[in-house]
Amino acid sequence: MASGEKGTRRLTILGSTGSIGTNTLDVVERLGGRDRFQIAALTGNGNIPLLAEQARRVGAELAVTADEHRYGELKDALAGSGIEVAAGRSGLTEAAERDAGWLMAAIVGNAGLAPTLAAARRGADIALANKECLVSAGSLFIEAVSKGGGRLLPVDSEHNAIFQVLENDQRHAVERVVLTASGGPFRTKTLDEMRHVTADIARAHPNWSMGLKISIDSASMFNKALEMIEARHLFRLRPDQIEVIVHPQSVVHSMVGYSDGSVLAQLGCPDMRTAIGYALSYPKRCELPIERLDFAKLARLDFEAPDETRFPALRLARRAMEAGGIQGAVLNGAKETALEAFIKGRIGFLAMAEIVEKVMDLLSDLPAAVTMDDVFAADKKARQTAAGLI
């Protein structure tokens, strides 16, 4: 692990101004801050005041805005601090390639692919929160991590839960993994009720505090669909080994079932800092001020099968996994375009899955990805096709 002048661990946080990024900095500061960690680089997008404040607070060496037009604004905000400033795609790559043994990959969307891949290739340990790396470029990304020699540490709560209870010396005995889903705000709604919901209604998650897009993805269960595809690559599973169960309390984060009938589960209060802290301190555990489970107050845990008629995203994920090749990128690209249209009020909530399925039908014969350019091309084609349908 790379270290700084005082023997501190060097870290980079891609996407430091988002919910994952801000919680990562919270964990870093609670675990010793500058006494234990040197922040090599922070990156953000449009929230320049927050990015500058974070960089000054933690003493980052480099601050990067993904928006190349905001370079001057960030440079002015950090004037006199001694902190280097960069912008745009090249700036993100510079941040990822900077000497740091551990990198949080929390940039949302395809913008996070290239810098995360660059960090993987140089051998950094990747705390992975970006979904596109595995959904769109799964085999290529896993190969890059393997060749680079770093570790892949899942930060998503469900995948982190599996990571915690999947016994490496018992992988041969794994029968299934079970991803839990809260069911979101529409768990008990009818199709007719869901047909008329707005983005403001869909963003109101009952258990987690998240950004707009991921909250709506949770409401449609597209978030869970992407997690199914990610799990396949992360844990080298067959599609038929991946199950989803609705668990409204969000206390059991995921489970692993073994050939002797045992099921190991990871439980905890819904707080993303648990997964972040585990990824940062792995293979040890750290001390964090997370609310402790009170089983007496909890009283009950509910589970129910997901309704794929109301939430067809799960069925589409299985279809993408079984088809293999580039279909994960097709599903994700179409989903992103449909999601943007829903947020802008151009289509209804249920139309998102309908559009994604139509795009998958139309692009079912795309060849498998050999390079990252193939991934980007498939994503672009999916987005264009979805836009045409909208």
Side chain identity, residue 287? E
168 annotated ligand-binding residue: no
Provide φ and ψ at 303, rounded to 5°: -140, 145
Tokens for 314, please give them: 């799960």
Q: Got the DSSP string for 196-225?
A: T--HHHHT--SS----HHHHHHHHHTHHHH
3 annotated ligand-binding residue: no
Provide φ and ψ at 320, rounded to 5°: -65, -40
Laid out side by side, the sheet with 174-181 consists of: 242-246, 174-181, 252-258, 263-267
Q: Got the DSSP string for 1-27?
A: --B-TTSPEEEEEETTTSHHHHHHHHH
- Measured between alpha carbons, how far is 48 from 54 in angstroms, rounded to an integer? 10
- Measured between alpha carbons, how far is 182 from 88 in angstroms, rounded to an integer? 36
18 annotated ligand-binding residue: yes
Task: Classify 170 as helix, strand or coil.
Answer: helix
Any idea of the CA torsion for 8, 14, 19, 24, to the nearest 10 degrees?
Answer: -10
Asked if residues 248 and 302 have their Cβ atoms less than 8 Å apart, the reply is: yes
- Strand duo 174-181 + 9-14: pairing: unpaired
131 annotated ligand-binding residue: yes
223 annotated ligand-binding residue: yes
110 annotated ligand-binding residue: no
125 annotated ligand-binding residue: no
132 annotated ligand-binding residue: yes
- Measured between alpha carbons, how far is 286 from 23 in angstroms, rounded to an integer? 15
335 annotated ligand-binding residue: no
Distance from the Cα of residue 290 to its chain's centroid: 21
Q: How many CB atoms lie within 10 A of CB 292?
A: 8
Return the ∠ at Cα 162 (arms to 105 and 109), rounded to 5°: 25
130 annotated ligand-binding residue: yes
Beta strand ranges found along 182-284 (DSSP E): 242-246, 252-258, 263-267
Instruction: Please report, in range form, the residues annotated as the binding site.
Output: 17-20, 47, 130-132, 156-158, 182, 205, 211, 218, 223-224, 227
Instruction: Please report, in range form, the residues annotated as the binding site for Mn(2+).
Output: 156, 158, 227
Instruction: Please report, in range form, the residues annotated as the binding site for 1-deoxy-D-xylulose 5-phosphate.
Output: 131, 157-158, 182, 205, 218, 223-224, 227
Instruction: Please report, in range form, the residues annotated as the binding site for NADPH.
Output: 17-20, 47, 130, 132, 211
